[in-house]
Chain A
Amino acid sequence: MAEAVLEVTDLVKHYPLTRGVLIRKQIGAVRAVDGVSFALAPGETLGIVGESGCGKSTVARTLVGLERPTSGRIRYKGEDITRLSGRALKAVRRNIQMVFQDPYTSLNPRMTVGDIVGEPFEIHPEAAPKGDRRRKVQELLDVVGLDPEYVNRYPHQFSGGQRQRIGIARGLALRPEVIVADEPVSALDVSVQAQVINLMERLQNEFGLAYVFIAHDLSVVRHISDRVGVMYLGRLVELGSDSEIYDRPTHPYTQALLSAVPPPDPAARAHRDRIILAGEVPSPARPPSGCRFRTRCWKAQERCAVEEPELTVPVAFRGQKGPAAHPSACHFAAERRSVPAAGGET
């Protein structure tokens, strides 16, 4: 792999649970993210999937500096950005931008589209000379497939898909190297979703962007990602290329997650081996000891309650080549086909 643009090591984010109004006492912590490590190569897309409460959005927010991590490092081209502040932090932020989930709340309703897309230039005046900004904004609108004449319009005059394009244009303005997209298409209709996904792929090729693409929709993540990380209760449980994760998952949670997605082909109904997980995700304030998935896992044994599995290539697959040999945080990692084969077309 080429040198990483972004390298995350042991990222931890705990939200303290407090009691009391004036004098606060900490009575515990929600372990939203609890030791996550990954690297992002230039121009690559890393998908992060997981269910609600798994910490994937918190990862996104720490990457763009909206939250300060409790511990751990985030290195942009080798420089630890969690220690930066003031001018240095602002300079780094130019290179890591975010696209938000909800196109209805992510644009300021009192600002015109031109002001919204041009705001990055006002905050970072060195990025574009003043006289140049209007033209740059219009260029950006054109790049994301909107009529440049729309600069004077307000967000409420646009549909959800168009608003998401405006949000993407804002994210592109400073020519970042990394875009962190938190559920960028989950609020959109199917047909509009495809437009936005295609747009993001085209922009990636045109500008050499690296994406951290966070979503709960496993099909969307497979479509857009080069590598995929699966999160459960604040930890990455499996990490690999898209075909390693989707075709050869070895972690039971990934297998259950994939098998739960109904395939859009009714012919696949018959030969489907669906794993229905028992129970629900435990509270991140009181995660289970050892392996966090053990309370819902059909393979769980005593060892799982005591010893927390590490995210490395499992012993059983070490020394092997091939797609099954990828990092998976399970003591009993084993292959199991979880996605039914494409009907007749593979």
Chain B
Amino acid sequence: MLLDVRDLRVEFRTRDGVARAVNGVSYAVDAGETLAVLGESGSGKSVAAQAVMGILDTPPGRITGGEVLFRGRDLLRLKEERRRRIRGAEMAMIFQDALSALNPVLDVGSQLGEMFVVHRGMSRGQARARAVELMDRVGIPAARERAGDYPHQFSGGMRQRVMIAMALALEPALIIADEPTTALDVTVQAQVMELLARLRRELDMALILITHDLGVVAEAADRIAVMYAGRIVETAPVHAVHRAAAHPYTRALLDSVPRLDRKGRELYAIRGLPPNPLRVPPGCAFHPRCPVARDICRTDEPPLYEAGEGRRSACHFWRETLDG
């Protein structure tokens, strides 16, 4: 197991109380595997990733429990100094908004080269040459000339490529991509996803893909972890999920997306709203919105039940959900 996150907990202290943004999340990624973490805003999917990556803002955030085992070492127990050396070199991150993730006053070539100077001790000249190579690899035309350009001179899609290049620079074993294509147009999104898939294959990297887009999940993921209110509610191989979901939330999500290939009738709409992280309902957090909830759901928090086919579901009634 390349990355094994166990029972991760993150809290935010706010003026109005403590928000348990991540409330006991466990997931694992094998080398070369793509795991999609699916969830709506407020589900804790990005916060969990930031905690894994070690870039969570503390305060206001605070990791209150759990382990992040990366190649067997618990990252949460490492000194910041050692974590910093792992970051970038062994695991890297791609953000949604490339414009704000890149430094506006440095040209792109220098920013890419910086990685080699800091982590590999290369000279400026060598680093620049590697930067151009990288830009070429992620499909930026006229890489040599464009290396002197600043981030705002690139289009959205090209900027995303620059950020991917930066994440790939040191050939890390794991990449965490947080909504990498959400800000992009469909045709550009297709280009970027294709690039990510190609590079992942070539470099045999593991990928954690954080997204709310079921299409992106279906296209790129091997396995899927669905998050709701700071918890994982279902994990399963992506094909299995699509045949039948073992958690009512997953199922509702699948049913509530309009389809491109046919004109549906009325969409299935989950009633109500995702809970406020300050006041997560007791028992199963989904019970106020769940069509199959019973008394036990209001009182007992469901564990992640083994549901066969490499699937786990945090629903007391996973069997019925799978069948019906």
Answer yes or no: A and B touching, Cβ < 8 Å. Answer: yes
One digit per residue, 1 when the CB lies within 8 angstroms of any chain B CB and 0 when it does not, for chain A 255-285 equals: 0111111111111110000101100110000
How far is it, in angstroms, between the C-alpha of A242 and the C-alpha of B273 when the chains are bound?
Answer: 31
A262 and B212 contacting across the interface, CB-CB below 8 Å = no
A339 and B261 contacting across the interface, CB-CB below 8 Å = yes
- Please give, as numbers and ranges, the residues of chain B lying within 8 Å of A260 by CB-CB distance: 186-187, 189-190
Within 8 A of A (CB), among B260-318: 260-264, 266-271, 273-274
B273 and A192 contacting across the interface, CB-CB below 8 Å = yes
- Please give, as numbers and ranges, the residues of chain A lying within 8 Å of B155 by CB-CB distance: 280
Give how many A residues have a beta carbon under 8 Å from the other chain's beta carbons: 51
One digit per residue, 1 when the CB lies within 8 angstroms of any chain B CB and 0 when it does not, for chain A 155-167 equals: 0000101100000
A268 and B260 contacting across the interface, CB-CB below 8 Å = no
Contact among A162, A191, A256, A262 with B269 in the assembled complex (CB-CB below 8 Å): A191
- B interface bracket (residues with beta carbon within 8 Å of A): 35 or more
A339 and B242 contacting across the interface, CB-CB below 8 Å = no
Query: B residues engaging A (CB < 8 A)?
Result: 40-41, 155, 157-158, 185-191, 193-194, 212-221, 238-239, 242, 252-254, 256-264, 266-271, 273-274
B218 and A194 contacting across the interface, CB-CB below 8 Å = no
Within 8 A of B (CB), among A301-344: 339-343
Cβ of B184 to closest chain A Cβ, rounded Å: 9
B238 and A266 contacting across the interface, CB-CB below 8 Å = yes
Q: A264-B242, A340-B261 are in contact. List 18 more A-B contacts (CB 8 A).
A: A161-B273, A189-B274, A190-B40, A191-B253, A192-B273, A198-B267, A198-B269, A219-B260, A222-B259, A223-B263, A256-B187, A260-B186, A262-B218, A262-B219, A263-B215, A264-B215, A266-B221, A280-B157
Q: Does A14 contact B (CB under 8 A)?
A: no
Q: Does A106 contact B (CB under 8 A)?
A: no
Known A161-B273, A223-B263, A264-B218; contact A51-B185, beta-carbon cutoff 8 A: yes
B239 and A267 contacting across the interface, CB-CB below 8 Å = yes
Closest B-chain residue to A161, C-beta based? Answer: B273
B215 and A262 contacting across the interface, CB-CB below 8 Å = yes
Task: Pull 17 A–B residue pairs with CB atoms less than 8 Å apart, ordered by A.
Answer: A191-B253, A194-B270, A218-B186, A219-B258, A222-B259, A223-B263, A246-B261, A260-B186, A260-B189, A261-B260, A262-B213, A262-B216, A263-B218, A267-B242, A268-B218, A269-B219, A339-B261
Q: Does A39 contact B (CB under 8 A)?
A: no
How far is it, in angstroms, between the C-alpha of A22 and the C-alpha of B266 when the chains are bound?
Answer: 55
Closest B-chain residue to A51, C-beta based? Answer: B185
- Please give, as numbers and ranges, the residues of chain B lying within 8 Å of A261 by CB-CB distance: 186, 215, 260
- Please give, as numbers and ranges, the residues of chain B lying within 8 Å of A267 by CB-CB distance: 239, 242
How far is it, in angstroms, between the C-alpha of A131 and the C-alpha of B115 when the chains are bound?
Answer: 68
